[in-house]
C-alpha cells in the first residue's frame, strides 16, 4: 500500500527540528488549562507526582512506540497499522480511531485557539474586563455566540492549515522552530517574573509540598488520563512525525527530551498561573475559565498587566497553533497515504471539513466532546499502539530499529511495559471512565 509515496516521503531537516516539532505538539492548551485545573482540583503536589510517574512509565514508552511504528513503516497511523498487521481489518479500524480522534479533537481545539487569539486581540487593545463578574459574563457571551468568534476561529484555522499545507520542512518544522523558541523564552521570562509575586511561595508549596494521603485512585486515574492528551499520544501524531525520521536517530533520547520539555512547561505554566491567582487570594479551580475568566481581570489591575496579558495570550496562541498543526497533519497525511491525494488537496480539504464541523463548538459546551475525543478515543488509540508494539511487531525488529540487542535490559523493559503494564492500565482507565 502507498509504496510510491513512502518512497518520496519528506524528512525532517534536523534532529532538533523534529524534537521541537514533537515538543510543539505536546506543549499546548493542555499544559495551561487542563493541567492547572487538574492540579487545582486534585490535591496539588499529589497529582503532580503521580503525573510525573505516569509520564515516565507510560508516556515515554508509548511515545517511543509511536515513533517506532512511524519509522518502521514510513507511514501514518492507518497505513502503518495495515502494513504491520498484514492488512487485518480490525487493525485498520483501530488505526482509524486515531484519525477520528484527531478530526474531532481539532474541531473544538481550534475553537479554543480562536478564543485565545480573540483574547490576544483584546489584550493588545488594552480592553480586558476589570472585575470578575464582567469577565465571567463577557466570556459566557463570547464563547456561546458564533458571530463573535468567527473571525478569530477562522484566523486560527487558516494559520494552522497554511502551515500544514507547506509540508514537513517548510511548514511544520520551520514554524515550530520559530514559535516554540519564542514560546520557551517568553514562558521562562514570565516564570521568573511570577517568582517575584507575593503568591509565589504559596504556588510553589501548593505544587510541590507533597501529601501522600492525597494520592487516591481517582487522582491516579486522572493523572494517567492526562498523560495522553498532554503528550499528544493515541491520535497517531507521533506515528506521523516518526514516519518523517531519517535513519539515524536515538528515539528513547528524543522521547525523553520531548516529555521533559512538556512536563517543565506544564510546571512553569502552573507556577505562573497559581502565583498570579494566589497573589489575589483566589483559588485556581475554575477549569477552562482560568485563562479566560480568572486571569484577565487580574491582568487588568496588575502593574504592567496589559503587557503581561499580551505575552500570556501570545504564548498560549503559539502553543495552540503548534499542537493544532500536529493534529491536522494526522488527518492530512492519512488522506495522502491511504487515498494518494496531494498535500494541498488533503490539507485544505480536511481543514475545511474540520472547520465546518468545529463550528458546533462555537455555540456549545466542549466538556462532553473533550471527554469522548480527548479522553476515551485517545486512550483507545494508545491501547492499540501498545498492543501492536507489544504483541504484533517482532522483538527482533524493534531491536534492529533501536540499534540494540533483543536481550538488552532496557529494550526488555520497554517491551514488557507495552505488552502488559500499559495495556492493563489503559483497560482499567477505560473501564473506570475517568478522564
Ligand atoms: N498535546 C496538546 C496539548 O496538551 O494541548 C494537544 C493535543 C494534541 C491533544 C493531540 C490531543 C491530541 F490528540
**What's residue 247's pLDDT?**
74
* Residue 284 Cβ < 6 Å to ligand 1: no
Confidence of residue 1 (pLDDT cuts 50, 70, 90): very low
d(CA 337, ligand 1 centre) in Å: 22
In a domain? residue 194: yes
Range of the domain at 87: 15-432
Summarised one tens digit per residue, pLDDT across range 412-424 is 999 999 999 999 9
In a domain? residue 76: yes
In a domain? residue 234: yes
- Whether 383 and 423 have beta carbons less than 8 Å apart is answered as yes
* Residue 378 Cβ < 6 Å to ligand 1: yes
In a domain? residue 113: yes
Q: Which of 188, 204, 200, 234 is nearest to 372 (CA)?
A: 234
Confidence of residue 101 (pLDDT cuts 50, 70, 90): very high
CATH number (domain holding residue 176): 1.10.4160.10
Contacts of residue 312, defined as CB under 8 A and 6 or more positions apart, other chains included, come to 123, 190, 272, 291, 295, 299
* Residue 377 Cβ < 6 Å to ligand 1: no
Region class of 416: left (phi > 0), else alpha (psi between -120 and 50), else beta: alpha
For ligand 1, atom 7, which residue shows the shortest CA distance?
232
CB atoms within 10 A of CB 87: 11
Greater confidence (285 vs 324) lies with 324
Q: What is the mean pLDDT of residues 1-21?
A: 78
Contacts of residue 395, defined as CB under 8 A and 6 or more positions apart, other chains included, come to 406, 411, 415
433, three cell numbers? 471512565
For CA atoms 275, 280, 284, 287, the dihedral sign is negative
In a domain? residue 252: yes
Contacts of residue 421, defined as CB under 8 A and 6 or more positions apart, other chains included, come to 57, 58
Model confidence at 288: pLDDT above 80: no
* Residue 240 Cβ < 6 Å to ligand 1: no
Summarised one tens digit per residue, pLDDT across range 104-159 is 999 999 999 999 999 999 999 988 998 888 999 999 999 999 999 999 999 999 99
Q: Which of 15, 1, 174 is nearest to 74 (CA)?
A: 1
365, three cell numbers? 459546551
369, three cell numbers? 466532546
In a domain? residue 4: no
* Residue 30 Cβ < 6 Å to ligand 1: yes
Nearest ligand 1 atom, CA 26? 1
For all residues of the chain together, what is the average pLDDT? 93
For ligand 1, atom 8, which residue shows the shortest CA distance?
232
From CA 418, how far away is CA 345, in angstroms rounded?
36
- Whether 327 and 102 have beta carbons less than 8 Å apart is answered as yes
- Give, for ligand 1, the residue of 327, 369, 370 to mutate: max count of ligand atoms closer than 8 Å to Cβ: 327
Summarised one tens digit per residue, pLDDT across range 245-275 is 987 788 999 999 999 999 999 999 999 999 9
d(CA 339, ligand 1 centre) in Å: 25
Nearest ligand 1 atom, CA 28? 5
**What's residue 285's pLDDT?**
65
Q: Which of 319, 290, 227, 373 is nearest to 37 (CA)?
A: 290
Nearest ligand 1 atom, CA 101? 13
pTM above 0.85, yes or no: yes
From CA 173, how far away is CA 156, in angstroms rounded?
18
- Residue 303, exposed/middle/buried by CB under 10 A (0-12, 13-18, 19+)? exposed
In a domain? residue 357: yes
d(CA 304, ligand 1 centre) in Å: 31
Contacts of residue 77, defined as CB under 8 A and 6 or more positions apart, other chains included, come to 69, 95, 98, 99, 235, 236, 239, 240, 330, 334, 381
**What's residue 286's pLDDT?**
63
Number of domains the chain is built from:
1
Summarised one tens digit per residue, pLDDT across range 144-168 is 999 999 999 999 999 999 999 999 9
In a domain? residue 3: no
Q: What is the mean pLDDT of residues 336-364?
A: 97
* Residue 237 Cβ < 6 Å to ligand 1: yes
Amino acid at each position: 500500500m502507498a509504496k510510491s509515496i513512502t518512497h518520496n516521503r519528506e524528512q525532517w531537516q534536523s534532529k532538533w527540528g523534529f524534537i521541537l516539532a514533537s515538543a510543539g505538539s505536546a506543549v499546548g492548551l493542555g499544559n495551561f488549562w487542563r493541567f492547572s485545573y487538574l492540579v487545582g482540583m486534585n490535591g496539588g503536589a499529589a497529582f503532580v507526582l503521580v503525573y510525573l510517574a505516569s509520564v515516565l512509565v507510560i508516556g515515554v514508552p508509548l511515545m517511543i512506540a509511536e515513533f517506532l511504528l512511524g519509522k518502521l513503516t514510513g507511514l501514518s497511523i492507518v497505513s502503518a497499522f495495515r502494513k504491520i498487521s498484514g492488512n487485518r481489518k480490525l487493525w485498520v479500524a483501530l488505526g482509524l480511531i486515531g484519525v477520528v480522534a484527531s478530526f474531532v479533537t481539532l474541531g473544538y481545539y481550534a475553537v479554543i485557539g480562536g478564543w485565545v487569539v480573540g483574547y490576544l486581540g483584546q489584550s493588545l487593545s488594552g480592553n480586558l474586563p476589570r472585575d470578575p463578574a464582567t469577565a465571567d459574563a463577557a466570556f459566557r457571551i463570547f464563547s456561546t455566540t458564533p458571530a463573535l468568534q468567527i473571525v478569530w476561529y477562522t484566523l486560527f484555522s487558516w494559520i494552522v492549515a497554511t502551515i500544514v499545507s507547506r509540508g514537513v520542512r517548510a511548514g511544520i518544522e520551520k514554524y515550530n522552530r520559530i514559535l516554540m523558541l519564542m514560546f520557551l523564552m517568553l514562558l521562562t521570562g514570565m516564570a521568573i517574573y511570577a517568582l517575584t509575586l507575593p503568591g509565589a511561595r504559596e504556588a510553589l508549596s501548593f505544587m510541590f509540598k507533597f501529601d501522600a494521603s492525597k494520592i487516591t485512585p481517582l487522582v491516579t486515574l486522572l493523572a494517567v488520563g492526562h498523560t495522553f492528551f498532554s503528550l499528544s499520544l493515541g491520535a497517531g501524531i507521533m506515528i506521523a512525525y516518526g514516519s518523517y525520521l531519517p535513519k539515524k536517530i536515538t528515539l528513547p533520547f528524543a522521547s525523553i527530551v520531548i516529555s521533559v520539555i512538556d512536563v517543565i512547561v506544564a510546571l512553569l505554566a502552573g507556577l505562573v498561573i497559581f502565583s498570579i491567582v494566589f497573589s489575589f487570594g483566589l483559588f485556581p479551580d475554575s477549569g477552562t475559565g482560568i485563562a479566560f475568566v480568572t486571569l484577565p481581570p487580574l491582568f487588568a489591575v496588575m502593574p504592567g498587566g496589559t503587557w503581561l496579558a499580551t505575552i500570556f495570550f501570545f504564548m498560549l496562541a503559539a502553543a495552540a497553533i503548534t499542537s493544532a498543526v500536529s493534529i491536522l497533519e494526522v488527518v492530512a497525511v492519512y488522506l495522502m497515504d491511504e487515498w494518494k491525494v496531494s498535500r494541498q488537496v488533503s490539507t485544505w480539504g480536511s481543514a475545511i471539513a474540520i472547520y465546518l464541523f468545529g463550528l458546533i463548538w462555537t455555540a456549545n459546551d466542549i466538556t462532553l466532546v473533550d471527554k469522548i475525543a480527548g479522553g476515551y478515543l485517545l486512550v483507545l488509540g494508545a491501547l492499540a499502539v501498545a498492543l501492536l508494539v507489544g504483541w504484533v511487531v517482532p522483538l527482533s525488529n524493534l531491536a534492529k530499529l533501536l540499534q540494540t540487542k533483543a536481550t538488552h535490559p532496557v529494550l526488555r523493559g520497554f517491551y514488557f511495559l507495552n505488552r502488559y503494564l500499559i495495556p492493563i492500565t489503559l483497560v482499567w482507565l477505560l473501564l473506570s471512565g475517568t478522564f
